[in-house]
Structure 1
Amino acid sequence: MTKMDDVAKLANVSTATVSRVLSKNPNVSLKTQRRVLEAVDILGYKPNRLASNFRKRSSKTVVVVLPDITNSFFSKIVQGLEEVAQSRGYHVLLGDTRNNVESERNFIDLVNQKFVDGMILATARLPKEEILAVSQEIPIVLACEYFDGFDIPTVTIDNVSAAREATQHLVNLGHRRIGFISGPLSIVLGRDRLKGYRQAMLINELPVEESLIQEGDFTVQAGYNAMMKLMASNHPPSAIFAASDEMAIGAMKAARNKGLNVPEDVSIIGFDDIPAGTYVHPELTTIRQPAFEIGTQAMNLLLDMIKGCAKERKQLVLPHQVVLRETTTSPRG
């Protein structure tokens, strides 16, 4: 295995000079730089990045922890944060917790061991005190999630308002019996979207029937299962608000299996605006989150913190939008 000493000998320089050239130190003459880089190329030398990290106390790497890498909503977030990271000379490690708390804890341990310079959490199922403790040791940014009363930088939307607008859209169409398929109520996103649904129902003086609220986990299968339960009621709802597009797509499949037409027999609105929403038939009405911008803003916040130039405004709330397509209409009769 080629070592830095070998490069130094071939280039007739010191190992310190080789290190300065590889780290792009400007205080090395162009002639010496060329000689070192030619030696690197001839010998096929690969720098030991881990050893370099210990010397520099910097890995130029950040870890991004996702709850479910198969959910296409997160792909746009990843694209946004990758674009910023690459433009600023950083590498990104992706971690998929599969909605498992222990997996999330394992990734935080990786951060504690200083193998990465910072972390973006797009999931936060650990107790907030644990995450706060880690945030005192290393830069952390929350993307989509947040903690009330904790000074941890956050990039998200107003999920309560967005859910209220989604429900209000169905009310405006004339629906009075509206079912809700929530996300996990153990996390803030699930609770906020439920809160928005309840607010819209109460504002319009419509009863909130607990039997019309089914808890899911943001997956297609959860949406399918919840919809089957809602449609099994003696008095099923005429409209459904699903707290994610994937659950909305699952609900659409369940409706078809029950012999129902969307939106003629039951209207459905989702949340996220994933690409698949425009490929299902009929096309899905939804709430659009600016996923790409969530990624870019979160990465910029994190890298600014790492470099010690973080902005004062740490909690960013980005705009959302109701996207009207084909899965909602006025109820029959």
Structure 2
Amino acid sequence: MATIKDVARHAGVSVTTVSHVVNKTRFVSDEGRERVEQAIRELGYVPSAVARSLQRSATNTLGMLIPNSSNPYFAEIVRGIEDRCFGAGYNLLLCNTDDEPRRQGAVLQVLAERRIDGLIVVSSGEDPALPDLLKGLRVPTVMVDREIDTLPCDLVETAHMQGAVAAVQHLAALGHRRIACIGGPAGVATAQQRTEGWRIGMAGLGLSASPELLHPGDFTSEGGYAAMHAILRQSSRPSAVFAANDLMAIGALCAAYECGVAVPDELSLVGFDDIEPARFSCPPLSTVAQPKLRIANLAVDMLLERIEGRRQEPRKVVLQPELRVRASSAPYRGDRQ
């Protein structure tokens, strides 16, 4: 591979001149710049990103930590963040913890070695070591979806509790009174907030949120599938179900189909997130939509504000979700209340 010295020799200029042309650090005459650029083209010279980052103390690279790259919700967030990064002249280095909190430390070490300029984090649940690990990176950090109270960094999230309340109110307005909930994994703040929103929504309408109506889930389709089978085995079945994310709701739809329970004629169902497959399930899924593109854009913009020194104090943004009513929820038609 051609080196900067080869380019300088080919163009008949100094190495310093080539460096100024490549890095745009000083004025170089039009004639000198054209000679350098022609030499770069002819030799196929590619500037070393590592060397440039050491010189400038910046890599134009952002890191991102997500719990599960196979979850369409995170995939849609990542796509929005990548687009925003590209438009701002930054690369994105993505790491997946596979829903294992203990892997976060190892992944953060990898990101630190890559000399990232900033970090976007969706945490993987309870990990007491995570706040200290993030502080140790000493780079601007934005949390998405899942707040860490002890960490003074930026946060972008959706009002998860209010979204769950809206789902319950929608089902109750359709005449449903016995509304079950498929909750998310223990230790994940968003799951806890959505389950609490279900309880608050039920209490606000004078409905019972008894323990037999709450079924554990894990934010996967398999978890929703298993939970729905458990719900349908109950002697006193609910007429509606709120699933704390769309993946579980899609798994629940499959279980209902296997059991011969028609959705929404015999059982209404509402999810949370509005991932793309929700529109194409059978029937299309009613859900609480998170503003994913706005979350992605805000996360990148807030991070660049900190990187560029335009803001010092941490900022918290809570976005409002929106109920999307589709064909999986309908008025109550039975007598199982």
Q: Any idea what SS the aligned residue of 1:241 has?
A: strand
Tell me, yes or no, if the aligned pair for 1:288 and 1:323 is still in contact at 8 Å: yes
Bigger shift: residues 224-233 or 46-55: 46-55
Report the CA distance between 1:282 and its aligned residue. 1.1
Aligned to 2:211: 210
Distance 1:133 1:70 in 2: 25
Distance 2:127 2:19 in 1: 42
Q: Any idea what SS the aligned residue of 1:55 has?
A: helix
Q: Letter of the aligned partner of 1:276 in structure 2?
A: P
Distance 1:24 1:247 in 2: 51
Distance 2:328 2:179 in 1: 14
Aligned to 1:299: 300
Q: Any idea what SS the aligned residue of 1:176 has?
A: coil
Bigger shift: residues 293-302 or 230-239: 230-239
Report the CA distance between 1:117 and its aligned residue. 0.9
- After TM superposition, the structure 1 = structure 2 runs for residues 189-200 of structure 1, keeping only pairs within 5 Å, are 189-200=190-201
Q: Any idea what SS the aligned residue of 1:270 has?
A: strand
Q: Any idea what SS the aligned residue of 1:58 has?
A: coil
Bigger shift: residues 280-289 or 51-60: 51-60
- 1:127 matched to 2:127: yes
Distance 1:33 1:183 in 2: 59
- 1:71 matched to 2:35: no
- 1:244 matched to 2:278: no
Tell me: CA distance 1:311–1:22, structure 2 relative to 1, closer, same or farther (3 Å): same
Distance 2:280 2:333 in 1: 26
Aligned to 1:169: 170
* Structure 1 runs not aligned, ≥5 long: none
TM-score, structure 1 as length reference: 0.94
Distance 1:14 1:176 in 2: 80
Q: Letter of the aligned partner of 1:252 in structure 2?
A: L
Report the CA distance between 1:130 and its aligned residue. 2.9
TM-score, structure 2 as length reference: 0.93
Distance 2:120 2:174 in 1: 39
Aligned to 1:289: 290
- After TM superposition, the structure 1 = structure 2 runs for residues 13-32 of structure 1, keeping only pairs within 5 Å, are 13-25=13-25, 27-32=27-32
Q: Letter of the aligned partner of 1:65 in structure 2?
A: L
Aligned to 2:51: 51
Aligned to 1:331: 332
Tell me: CA distance 1:221–1:124, structure 2 relative to 1, closer, same or farther (3 Å): closer
Q: Any idea what SS the aligned residue of 2:149 has?
A: coil
Tell me, yes or no, if the aligned pair for 1:111 and 1:118 is still in contact at 8 Å: no
Tell me, yes or no, if the aligned pair for 2:131 and 2:151 is still in contact at 8 Å: no
Tell me, yes or no, if the aligned pair for 1:128 and 1:147 is still in contact at 8 Å: no
Aligned to 1:39: 39
Q: Any idea what SS the aligned residue of 1:120 has?
A: strand
Bigger shift: residues 33-42 or 78-87: 78-87
Distance 2:264 2:158 in 1: 28
Aligned to 1:255: 256
Aligned to 2:10: 10
- After TM superposition, the structure 1 = structure 2 runs for residues 269-280 of structure 1, keeping only pairs within 5 Å, are 269-280=270-281
Q: Any idea what SS the aligned residue of 1:271 has?
A: strand
Bigger shift: residues 213-222 or 307-316: 307-316
Q: How many residues align?
A: 333
Distance 2:35 2:102 in 1: 49
Bigger shift: residues 1-10 or 76-85: 76-85
Tell me, yes or no, if the aligned pair for 1:144 and 1:155 is still in contact at 8 Å: yes
Q: Any idea what SS the aligned residue of 1:216 has?
A: coil
Tell me: CA distance 1:16–1:217, structure 2 relative to 1, closer, same or farther (3 Å): farther
Q: Letter of the aligned partner of 2:265 in structure 1?
A: E
Report the CA distance between 1:312 and its aligned residue. 5.1
Please tell me the root mean square deviation across aligned C-alpha atoms, in Å. 1.8
Once the two structures are superposed, what CA deviation does each residue of 1:254-273 show, in whole Å capped at 9, x if it has no partner? Answer: 00000000001110000111
Report the CA distance between 1:311 and its aligned residue. 6.9
Tell me, yes or no, if the aligned pair for 1:77 and 1:293 is still in contact at 8 Å: no
- After TM superposition, the structure 1 = structure 2 runs for residues 134-145 of structure 1, keeping only pairs within 5 Å, are 134-135=134-135, 137-145=138-146
Tell me: CA distance 1:274–1:20, structure 2 relative to 1, closer, same or farther (3 Å): same
Distance 2:19 2:102 in 1: 39
Q: Any idea what SS the aligned residue of 2:47 has?
A: coil
Q: Letter of the aligned partner of 1:105 in structure 2?
A: G
Distance 1:282 1:126 in 2: 35
Tell me, yes or no, if the aligned pair for 1:104 and 1:126 is still in contact at 8 Å: no
* Structure 2 runs not aligned, ≥5 long: none
Aligned to 1:159: 160
